[in-house]
C-alpha cells in the first residue's frame, strides 16, 4: 500500500471534485480530500485508500489542520499530487454585491488555493521527488460573465498563480497546470436561470453543457507521467464556447 501515490483533492464531496476523487481511487492512487461536510456519494467511496476531513478552505487554521492530518495519514505513500478544486460562486452586480460575499469568494477560490499549495510544497521540500499541482480554474476567469465579477477575478488569479508557480517550482520537478472548465451541469450551474442555461447551450458549438466526465480525464492526464513536460499551462474544456 505504501507504494501507491498520494494525491490531495480539495472540495471532493460533490460535483467535479467527487468525480476526480472517484477516478483517482479507481486508478490506484491514495486520496486525501476535504469539504465543509461529507456527502452520501463520498461516503460510498470509503475505504483504506481514502481519507476525508472537514475543512473550510480559506480558513488558514483549518487548512493547516487538514493538510497536517492528510500528510500524516499518507504516511509512507509518496506524496505526488494536489488538485485545488474547492470553489464557490456568488452572483450579483458588483456595485451592490455584499462585501462579505466578495471576501468569501476570493478567500475560498484564491487565498485557499494558495494556502493549500504552500503546505503541499513545504512537504515536497522534505520528501523531494517529482509531483503535480492541478488548479481548477474556469473560462469565466478568461472571458468574464455578467454578475460574476468577484468569481471571475478569483479564477483569473488562479491561472496567474499557475503560471508563476510553475516557474518557481520547476527546479523541484513539480509541474503546475490549470484546467478551465466551461459551463458544467453541476450544482454550481444549477443556480442559473433556465434562459441563461439555454443561451449558453446555443452559444456552445457542441450544443450542450459540459459534464464532470468531460473534465476528469484531463485532470487525470495532468496528474500522470505522460504530462511530465507540461507546466504553466491552462487547458480549456468548454465545448468550444470560447473558441
The residues assigned a catalytic role are 151
For 135, list phi and psi in degrees, rounded to 5: -100, 130
Rounded-to-integer distance, Cα 38 and Cα 20, Å: 16
H or E segment and range at residue 39: none
Task: Extract the C-alpha cell encoding 84.
Answer: 485545488
DSSP H helices in the chain: 15-26, 40-43, 60-74, 99-106, 112-127, 140-143, 149-169, 194-203, 212-223
Q: Give counts: helices (H), strands (E), the chain.
A: 9, 7
Amino acid at each position: 500500500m505504501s507504494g501507491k501515490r498520494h494525491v490531495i483533492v480539495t472540495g471532493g464531496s460533490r460535483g467535479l471534485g467527487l468525480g476526480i476523487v472517484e477516478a483517482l481511487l479507481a486508478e490506484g492512487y491514495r486520496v486525501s480530500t476535504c469539504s465543509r461536510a461529507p456527502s452520501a456519494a463520498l461516503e460510498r467511496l470509503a475505504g483504506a485508500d481514502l481519507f476525508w476531513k472537514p475543512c473550510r478552505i480559506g480558513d488558514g487554521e483549518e487548512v493547516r489542520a487538514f493538510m497536517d492530518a492528510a500528510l500524516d495519514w499518507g504516511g509512507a505513500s509518496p506524496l505526488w499530487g494536489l488538485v485545488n478544486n474547492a470553489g464557490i460562486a456568488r452572483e450579483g452586480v458588483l456595485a451592490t454585491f455584499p462585501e462579505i460575499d466578495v471576501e468569501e469568494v476570493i478567500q475560498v477560490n484564491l487565498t485557499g488555493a494558495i494556502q493549500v499549495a504552500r503546505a503541499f510544497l513545504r512537504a515536497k521540500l522534505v520528501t523531494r521527488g517529482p509531483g503535480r499541482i492541478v488548479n481548477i480554474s474556469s473560462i469565466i476567469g478568461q472571458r468574464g460573465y455578467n454578475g460574476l465579477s468577484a468569481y471571475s477575478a478569483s479564477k483569473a488569479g488562479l491561472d496567474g498563480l499557475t503560471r508563476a508557480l510553475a516557474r518557481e517550482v520547476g527546479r523541484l520537478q513539480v509541474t503546475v497546470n490549470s484546467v478551465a472548465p466551461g459551463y458544467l451541469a453541476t450544482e454550481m450551474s444549477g443556480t442559473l436561470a433556465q434562459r441563461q442555461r439555454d443561451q449558453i447551450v446555443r452559444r456552445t458549438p457542441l450544443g450542450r453543457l459540459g459534464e464532470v466526465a468531460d473534465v476528469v480525464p484531463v485532470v487525470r492526464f495532468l496528474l500522470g507521467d505522460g504530462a511530465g513536460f507540461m507546466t504553466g499551462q491552462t487547458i480549456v474544456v468548454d465545448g468550444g464556447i470560447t473558441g
